[in-house]
Amino acid sequence: MLQLVITGGGGGLGRALLAAFHGPPWQPAAPSHGELDVTDAAAVRGFFAGRRVDLLVCAAGLTRDGPLARLTESAWDEVIAVNFGGAQACAAAVLPGMLARGSGHIVFISSFAAHHPPPGQAAYATAKAGLLGLTQQFAERHGRHGIRVNAILPGFLETPMTRPVSAARRAAVLAGHALGAFNTPAAVAGFIHYLHHQLPHTSGQFFQLDSRPAT
């Protein structure tokens, strides 16, 4: 059986990934924040110790929106720690096993905000941009050992994380979509499934999945 780990497994995308990878040859694990705090280095090491991981999807994330001048240091640190630091820690934890086997795939969930930071999301945009650099660094460094690393920019998804977004803000975001529609978590999960199984020689890439102009 192939082993999949999805961080942030309690979120909308995490649940969609569980459905997309349900059944043989996959044995997925999707720990929620309560089961795996990605900002806790000891917890991350303990969770991955001795665990085979063929595909890691780093989907844990959060936002703390507000004007940069009024964003507290603790809020900034929390957003960076979860969205960037947690992803890096989990990737670092699975790399030794992948290197030993000569295969593995890491997928970081980045964001359109990495290229076009929305108002009030400086920390979130910074963290998601960092994941793009991490993607290319890991892909270049470990590709010769059979490790693939890619980043997904899924677009605005209807998930618990986006539930607080106002109707006016949703309308403004939607106006920038050429097709006039948002993606669904199921569609994004399906793309990740396709990427893993059908594009075995693709690595170091950023995949923007909505219909806004790509950078």
Contact by Cβ (8 Å): 158, 178: no
What CA–CA distance (Å, rounded) separates 59 from 118?
A: 20
Positions annotated as catalytic residues are: 124
Task: Give the DSSP letter of residue 33.
Answer: T
- Radius of gyration of the chain from its Cα atoms, rounded to whole angstroms: 17
- Whether residue 9 contacts residue 18, with contact meaning beta carbons closer than 8 Å, is answered with yes
The answer for residues whose C-beta is within 8 angstroms of residue 24's C-beta and 6 or more apart is 1
Query: First-to-last CA distance in the chain?
Result: 38
| Per-residue CA distances from 172 to 34, 124, 181 (Å) | 33, 19, 12
